[in-house]
Amino acid sequence: MITPLKALYDVGDVLECSAGGNPEPDYTWIDLGDNTVLSTESSLVLTSSQAGQTIFLQCIASNRIRGSVQELAANTTVTVADGEEKNLRLHFTSELMYEILCNR
């Protein structure tokens, strides 16, 4: 299972992959877009190099039982916010200006 699941992630957010097993399973996080291994830990920290991207991830939990490898995979799609602050300026005829800072 991959947690937390949400619509938009920020740089620095941590995804956790969990599975039961005895002994404790080994974990592998894979970017399915280019089949690169991102982590061999149960957690994956989203980095600034992923900002503004949608990433297709797979977490594989594996364990060796009597010489046979058992695997369980979970997939998720992650969109990482670009981290840029967006400015919206509204001008009124009375020469008042309001600035609203919107974070995505």
> Global pTM?
0.76
Give me the sign of the Cα torsion angle 44, 45, 50, 54: positive
Domains of the chain: 2-103 (2.60.40.10)
Is the pLDDT at 9 greater than 60? The verdict is: yes
- 80 near 97, Cβ under 8 Å? no
pLDDT at 1: 86
Cβ(83)–Cβ(102) under 8 Å?
no
- The span from the CA of 38 to the CA of 1, in Å, is 17
Q: What is the pLDDT of residue 21?
A: 87
- pLDDT tens for 50-86 read 999 999 999 999 998 888 888 999 999 999 998 665 4
User: Is the pLDDT at 28 greater than 90, yes or no?
Assistant: yes
